[in-house]
């Protein structure tokens, strides 16, 4: 039985256009399913501030769980996932973003952020399957505790 729910958003013009397969979204779903999360929604949106912000607002509305984006965190002109995420998060969670950046030397090129909206934790991961999984693995051990805190459940410190 899964302990928590998760939603995944792939941010990719290529996946939307049908020229690229959503390998990173699939990799994140596999990891989450193997670590006691139930993936209850998986979507794809085009790159851009407005598209990301709208989808994250939709996914986090009345949701207690984890929302993970993949894609759009780099330096390319259309990589605007952090800007879209920043439009909807209410509180930053910089420790999570910092931990994700430390997993590999390429992490220094990630502009991804982490934050809270309502009872949801929103994490930006890179668009490569390996990078997305490595970044999520870097913080997955503390996410259940964080979700319990957000939900207002009494917890003991691990």
- For each of the domains in the chain, give its residue range(s) and CATH number, in order of start: 4-150 (3.40.980.10)
On the question of pLDDT at 106 being above 90, the answer is: no
The pLDDT value given to residue 2: 57
CA distance 50 to 62: 20
* Structure token pair of residue 95: 């420790």
Residue with tokens 């503390």: 142
What predicted TM-score, i.e. pTM, was given to this entire model? 0.95
| Res. 18: pLDDT tops 50 | yes
The helix, strand and coil proportions of the chain, stated in percent and rounded to the nearest 5, come to 45, 20, 35
Reported as a pLDDT band with limits 50, 70 and 90, residue 157 is low
Side-chain-side CA neighbours of 147 within 13 Å: the count stands at: 21
Half-sphere exposure in the Cβ direction for 64 (13 Å, CA): 12
pLDDT band, residue 126 (cuts 50/70/90): very high
Question: Quick one: average pLDDT of 36-62?
Answer: 97
């Amino acid at each position: 039985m899964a302990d928590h729910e998760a939603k995944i958003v792939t941010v990719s013009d290529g996946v939307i256009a049908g020229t690229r397969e959503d390998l990173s979204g699939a990799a994140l779903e596999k990891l989450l399913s193997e670590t006691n999360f139930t993936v209850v929604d998986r979507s794809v949106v085009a790159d851009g501030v407005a598209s990301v912000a709208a989808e994250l607002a939709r996914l986090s509305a009345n949701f207690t769980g984890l929302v993970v984006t993949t894609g759009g965190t780099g330096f390319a002109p259309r990589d605007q996932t952090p800007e879209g995420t920043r439009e909807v998060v209410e509180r930053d969670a910089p420790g999570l973003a910092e931990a994700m950046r430390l997993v590999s030397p390429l992490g220094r090129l990630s502009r991804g952020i982490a934050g809270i909206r309502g009872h949801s934790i929103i994490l930006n991961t890179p668009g490569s399957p390996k990078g997305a999984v490595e970044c999520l693995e870097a913080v997955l051990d503390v996410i259940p505790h964080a979700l319990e805190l957000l939900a207002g459940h009494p917890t003991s410190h691990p």
